[in-house]
Chains A and B, each alone.
Chain A
Amino acid sequence: MEVVNSKGAVLSNYEVLRLLQEVCHQGTKGKRNITQTQTHLASIAFDTLKYLEKTQCKSQSSEIIQRFLEAVKQFKLTKAEKLQLINLRPTTPVEMQLIIEESEDRLTEEQVEELISLVELHLPDPTASQMVNGQVTNQ
């Protein structure tokens, strides 16, 4: 076995969630259920799925993420920062400071506030969406 490239691409939690949902629901589509045939895959897939469903990515979709990335283009964030914004959905300036390096130098207070409002606008809050009867309000 030869590793050609150990870091071919970085995946967001949402992408991994979708992949694992497909993997775990193979049994229902006619193929054999993986819990019987592939115990290692089943255990890691179900555990990871359980973890991801408790995070913010549960209510995201590829359109939502694309729109969010368009909206934050102006802030010139690094790839890692954008990824963490999508995965963690920070809503307070403290969390923003954790994610964005040297945020005091790169962004003014208003920009941080703007970033927070963009996050809240584009990335749905998984807890809130339950209250709105499954309706995700986004433009």
Chain B
Amino acid sequence: MFQLAEIRHMVRIPPWLFGQTLNDAVIEELNRKLANKVVLNVGLGIALFDVTSLGDSYIFPGDGASHTRVTFRYVVFRPFMEEILEGVIKAADADGMQVSLGFYDDVYIRRDSMMTNSRYDETERSWVWDYKIEDDLHHLFLDIGERIRFRVVAEQFTDTTPAGPNLAEGENTVADRKEGKVPYIIYGAINDQGLGLVSWWTSNSAGQEEEEEMEEVEVGEMS
């Protein structure tokens, strides 16, 4: 789920922070710059891991602040492809579901990545899986707030730097927040055994039925 990104950056420390040690000032400045921000094609910054090298500090003419070249490693959130993650269902509509991980909300499960025989129920405003086993039809609801396990199938980074006045017309007609202005989107899928609501697969009595019947592989008996 988390990776280390090695980054090199020229850190600017304003004069009023010269009272702190260089190390502390640099760490604070890097966290201020990268925490909770998406770096394009790298991931969502979480926290500084360590500083690998600290260059000399220079003061340039016209600016009282010191500039230091720092090489450091930063913890970023970027799940790899096919990774299994667990989150909480946050919203659902006819196109799919949105899953939240608490610190990161933009996981979308599109309708075609869900189990076959799932449908969106307008009255309940949630997705339902019509699971049929030996003439017995179960309606399994994917309610909001439920813990769900999904597989990461795609990720999309969008550059959200503000466009100039010329580019803003026509080119970036983003009607939908989902596919447009979100800097980092993860697409998930739940169309496989073991995916979907966690409660379907844990070994309590209700879940047990699902496991015994759905497993083609082996192990009839779950103890």
Partners in one complex: yes
Total A-B Cβ pairs within 8 A: 136
Query: How many angstroms from the CA of A136 to the CA of B28 in the assembled complex?
Result: 37
Closest A residue to B214 by beta carbon equals: A94
Q: Which residues of B contact A47 (CB under 8 A)?
A: 102-103
Closest B residue to A108 by beta carbon equals: B218
Instruction: Determine which residue in B47, B71, B101, B219 has the highest number of CB atoms from chain A within 10 A of its CB, and name it.
Output: B47
Q: Which residues of B contact A51 (CB under 8 A)?
A: 101-103
Closest B residue to A11 by beta carbon equals: B2
Task: Output the least CB separation between A35 and chain B (Å).
Answer: 12
Closest A residue to B43 by beta carbon equals: A6
Q: With A45-B47, A92-B211 in contact, do A6 and B32 touch (Cβ < 8 Å)?
A: no
Task: Output the least CB separation between B85 and chain A (Å).
Answer: 9
Query: How many angstroms from the CA of A37 to the CA of B169 in the assembled complex?
Result: 39
The answer to whether A48 and B46 touch across the interface, beta carbons within 8 angstroms, is: yes
Q: Which residues of B contact A3 (CB under 8 A)?
A: 5-7, 39, 41-42
Q: Which residues of A contact B82 (CB under 8 A)?
A: 80, 101
The answer to whether B103 and A8 touch across the interface, beta carbons within 8 angstroms, is: no
Q: With A48-B103, A50-B102, A51-B101 in contact, do A43 and B36 touch (Cβ < 8 Å)?
A: yes
The 8 Å CB contact of B36, one of A7, A41, A92, is: A41
Q: How large is the interface on A (under 10, 10 to 19, 20 to 34, 35 or more residues)?
A: 35 or more
Q: State whether the Cβ of A104 lies closer than 8 Å to any Cβ in chain B.
A: yes
Query: How many angstroms from the CA of A17 to the CA of B215 in the assembled complex?
Result: 34
Within 8 A of B (CB), among A56-94: 80, 84, 87-88, 91-94
Q: State whether the Cβ of A121 lies closer than 8 Å to any Cβ in chain B.
A: no
Task: Output the least CB separation between A84 and chain B (Å).
Answer: 6
Query: How many angstroms from the CA of A123 to the CA of B84 in the assembled complex?
Result: 18
Query: How many angstroms from the CA of A127 to the CA of B4 in the assembled complex?
Result: 30
The 8 Å CB contact of B194, one of A16, A19, A97, is: A97
Q: State whether the Cβ of B131 lies closer than 8 Å to any Cβ in chain A.
A: no
Interface residues of A (CB under 8 A from B): 1-11, 13, 15-16, 19-20, 23, 31, 37-38, 40-41, 43-45, 47-48, 50-51, 55, 80, 84, 87-88, 91-95, 97-99, 101, 104, 109
